[in-house]
A and B are shown apart, each in its own frame.
Chain A
Amino acid sequence: MRGKQHPLDDYIRYWMLPTIWCPGCGNGIVLQALARALKELGLRKEEVVLVCGIGCSGRMAMYLDVDTAHTLHGRAIPFAIGVKLAKPHLKVIVVGGDGDLMAIGCSHLIHAARRNVEITTIMINNGVYAMTGGQVAPTTPHGVKTTTTPYGNLEEPFNAVSLMATSGAVYVARWTVAHPIQLKESIKKAMLKEGFSFIEVISTCPTMYGKFIGLNDPASMIRHLKKISIIKSHVDPSKAIIDWNNLIVCGEFIDREREGFTRRIRRCVNEARGADRR
């Protein structure tokens, strides 16, 4: 165990380091971007709650030094909704994997966006179920061989950006782990929105997904992401392509205003109480 020495140590449980993540895993970059965003926003740690699902990405809940919940696979969002409705002044962040949020927890994600609950969700899309050993995910591209698609994936992946845009999120963005600065700025912006904000981070899992697509060392994965990603602002979300061979469109796709859910609840409570007083 080392002593406190890094500028982000205030926000990181440095005594838990090293993380359980593999060398070259993109999760660490997301953790750092998140910690920097909190620091730059000047948030006190007791104002922030991090709620995670289950998966490699869910282990974020061990390392960020705020109140954290490591929930069940797919169930971070409903837990986070309970927290936010109970204590609306808290800033609630959800971090989950692509399997966690787009497969087992997909309906919660859609409904949270529809309700416009003031939660910032960061989905770490590594194209695969990493923690369980490299099975196909709803984000895995067509044709990729995984441990459960030995003849190649027969299905088409979800486009999370487009799904979140149609579901009602007020802020939708996508970055890769090769864009740490943009990611950090985006998290800051998302956390200041009134309503449900969603950031997809295309991440590197050299151990599983990288191996499947022939990029099994971290550096070549990052270089590849840099090469194929372009930043375009406010393109039509349905055109926010992810093609691991040629093109990943990054940027902010949605940034709009809509009344947040807890504001509506507050009004409902005031009206119900006012009616009683009358």
Chain B
Amino acid sequence: MQGNEACAYAAVVAGCRFFAGYPITPSSEIFEVMARELPRVGGVCIQMEDEIASIMAAIGASWAGLKSMTATSGPGIALMAEAVGYAAMTETPLVIVDVQRAGPATGVPTKPSQGDIMEIRWLSNGDYEIVAMYPWSVQEVVDLTIRAFNLAEEFRVPTILLMDGTLAHLHEKVAIPSEDDVRLVNRPKPSSPPEEYMPYKPSSYLVPPMASFGDGYRTRCEGLAHDYQGMPTSSPDVYEELVRRLCDKIRLNSHRIAQLKYYFLDDAEVAILAYGTMARIMYAAIRELRDEGERIGLIRPITIWPLPEELSDLMSEMKKVLVVEMNYGQLVREIERLTDRKRVVFCPWLRLEFPCLEEAKAMIRRHLHAG
């Protein structure tokens, strides 16, 4: 099964019952599978007139109580920017899949890239946090799609699953779990009586319980800065508390959200830092180079946003950190902030296909033995 299909099947297992989309290469198979599968489980899949309408419909469906998703690629994400800010402000549980293709603009639609790392982080005006994860195999697409729904629900936050054109179309054996075999999380529900319900009053972990439309609570989805009741305000105190909370509910819970994996670091002097499909290629190259005697290892952030805090400690042990990305310098800037800049070497790859094993080895060797 290919990455896109796996993502769609996993979404259904995760409880997704609403999908709205607009076709775009290389993400369309997600939409096509959802169009076939959702009606079978009583869900709804609709093609909207553009990506703005798609994400807004998904937000509306989420407020009506359904786990909702949309999928697109860089240009579509760009159109969704304002609505992602709206989802963040209204604390809407929502999963957005971004299958990256070469940009900017229409770019090279059929070719992969990792060029949306900053786009997805800084989509909207204002201060807010999102969650983004990037798998490196089709099986991990399944696992992280389910996790994306769980995090979106638990933290009431737009959660982005990143892929790229290669992973989206990569065929691998996968196990799609049944609903009974996975832990599914649902948004926190109010426990107070309807008369006392305040739609934006936070719980102990900073996330407000969410009543859906039609539940008999009086609730409000409000994109203006709002108080606990959801009523617009320009009070500096209320504004500051709200914006801090929108950020802090992710920042202060990042130990529960952020994930990374590392490989061969025990004896390593140099770490390669890469994510998603690029990390997988680096892993193969590192294994072969280690057989040749190079003392190198791999650090792979799985959540890109928020970045795992352990990164700093891991990097501090290394003489050098080679950051390999399929873009012209995105996550590397963030990595430089987390460690001594002098340690960081950036290795951009802009060749429209991921490097093959030999190219990857050559790239690492070149940087290992330079200067």
**Which residues of chain A have a CB within 8 Å of any CB of chain B?**
16, 45-47, 49, 51, 61-62, 65-72, 75, 77-83, 85-87, 89-90, 107-108, 111, 265, 268-269, 271-273, 276
Contact = CB atoms under 8 A, between A and B. Distances in A.
B219 A67 contact: yes
A62 B214 CA distance: 17
Given A71-B56, A75-B56, A273-B40, 15 more contacts: A46-B215, A61-B222, A69-B63, A72-B83, A75-B53, A78-B54, A78-B57, A79-B56, A82-B68, A86-B61, A90-B214, A107-B53, A272-B39, A272-B40, A276-B40
15 contacts: A16-B231, A71-B56, A71-B223, A72-B86, A78-B56, A82-B61, A83-B213, A85-B18, A85-B46, A86-B17, A86-B18, A89-B214, A108-B49, A111-B49, A265-B39
Contact of A67 (B44, B58, B213): B213
B61 A111 contact: no
Interface of B: 17-18, 20, 39-40, 42-44, 46, 48-50, 52-54, 56-66, 68, 82-83, 86, 212-216, 218-224, 231-232
A69 B221 contact: yes
Contact of A79 (B17, B46, B59): B59
Nearest to A107: B49
A260 B217 CA distance: 28
A16 B68 CA distance: 32
A71 B86 contact: yes
Given A72-B86, A273-B39, A273-B40, A86 B60 contact: yes
A82 B82 CA distance: 17
A90 B39 contact: no
Nearest to B221: A69
A72 B56 contact: yes
B60 A78 contact: yes
B57 to A, nearest CB: 4
A70 B83 contact: no
A67 B49 CA distance: 26
B53 A108 contact: yes
